[in-house]
Amino acid sequence: MKKIVKTLAGLVGAFVVLAVGYTAWNIWWEGRQIRAFCEAVHPGDPAASLENLGASRGVPPRRLRGVFDKERGSWYLFVPVGATMGDCGCRITHDGKAVLTAAMLCR
């Protein structure tokens, strides 16, 4: 009986270590992809090229949806690092034709 308990405890411990390791790796990997995308976006770049640029950096097009800001007359995109629950991400504004600003923001 003690052997079974030790084996189960070892398996549970291994599972916990793997889960924590995977979570840390996921945060690092996703952050790396979004950071590379954000560094590649520059003011003046065509807004139409954002999807292709995102795809080449591993950011799926569904993550590049924005909100139109009526006061400023521009689009606002925030591409979050999902594993950080929105605490870190790339903020992009564009007027529909060209990128106005792009910056990586982390709390």
- Give 27-51 pLDDT, tens digit per residue: 888 888 888 999 999 999 998 888 8
Rg of the chain's alpha carbons, rounded to an integer? 20
Task: Identify the residue with better confidence: 22 or 81.
Answer: 22
Which residues have a Cβ under 8 Å from the Cβ of 46 and sit 6 or more positions away?
A: 97, 98, 99
Lowest-pLDDT range of 33-37, 42-46, 52-56, 84-88: 84-88
pLDDT category of residue 86 using cuts at 50, 70 and 90:
low
How far apart, in whole angstroms, are the C-alpha atoms of residue 78 and residue 20? 27
Note the pTM of the prediction, 2 decimals: 0.75
| Alpha-helical segments (H) within 41-106 | 50-56
Number of domains in the chain: 1
| Residue 32: domain span | 2-106
Strands (E) in the chain, as ranges, are: 67-69, 74-80, 88-94, 99-106
